[in-house]
Amino acid sequence: MTKAISDNSSKKEPTRRDFLLLTAGAVGTVGAAYFAWPFIDSMNPAADVLAQSTVDVDLAPIPEGQAITVVWRGKPIFVRHRTAAEIQAAEQVPLSELIDPEPDKERVKKNHAPWLIVVGICTHLGCIPTGNKPTQTRGKYGGWACPCHGSLYDTSGRVRRGPAPLNLAIPPYMFLTDTTIRIGVEKGEA
């Protein structure tokens, strides 16, 4: 059974309570919910994927500069196809300017710099940051903006303005092919 997260952007910003409700709704589904924007709405997981604790994601339909959200084990996972400018911005930031210093190259897989995969949960109090939808603000640093208390993340998912103390987490995942990832396992575990 899939559970799609609806677009509430026209109503109000998501809150921690919304996310908790979504999480509660997903618990009984034993698998993944999945949603994408209309222009990639043909992306749906195979039925067998839904029953597993891992989620395979076809990256090919995600245009450069865009992102989708995959729900994995009840958590929103942001899958973002970064532009060359976004990668460059992430790589050039001096670590001394970062709240939670971490090089961009340690947050992406080798030879797959365009693809940033992060857990879409603010590290302050757990709201879902905006910025995955084309209509949403990404904030001053071009990544994501948390609507709850104003934390901002950059194009590497690193926190650039608090109160969030940590970067967006990186879930376990691996590339199966150049255009397919499996979320839930690291290489060697599959």
When binding is defined by CB under 6 A, the residue of 26, 87, 164, 183 that contacts ligand FES is 164
CA–CA separation, 54 and 189 (whole Å)? 11
- Of 143, 120, 141, the closest CA to residue 131 belongs to 143
- Is residue 118 a contact residue for ligand FES (CB under 6 A)? no
- Is residue 103 a contact residue for ligand FES (CB under 6 A)? no
Q: What share of the chain is helix, strand, coil (3-state, %, to 5)?
A: 20, 25, 60
Angle at 27 between CA 22 and CA 33, to 5 degrees: 65
CB 90 within 8 A of CB 82: yes
When binding is defined by CB under 6 A, the residue of 61, 103, 114, 163 that contacts ligand FES is 163
Name the minimum Å distance from CB 183 to ligand FES: 22
Kind plus residue range of the DSSP H or E element containing 23: helix 16-27
When binding is defined by CB under 6 A, the residue of 66, 69, 132, 151 that contacts ligand FES is 151
Determine whether 149 is an active site residue: yes
CA–CA separation, 123 and 166 (whole Å)? 6
Q: Which is nearer to ligand FES, 17 or 110 (CB)?
A: 17
**Piece of the chain touching ligand FES by CB under 6 A; list 32-40, 74-82, 106-114, 144-152:** 144-152
Which residue bears the tokens 């030879």?
Answer: 111
Name the minimum Å distance from CB 119 to ligand FES: 13
Contact footprint for ligand FES (CB under 6 A): 122, 124-127, 146, 148-151, 163-164
Which residues are catalytically annotated? 149
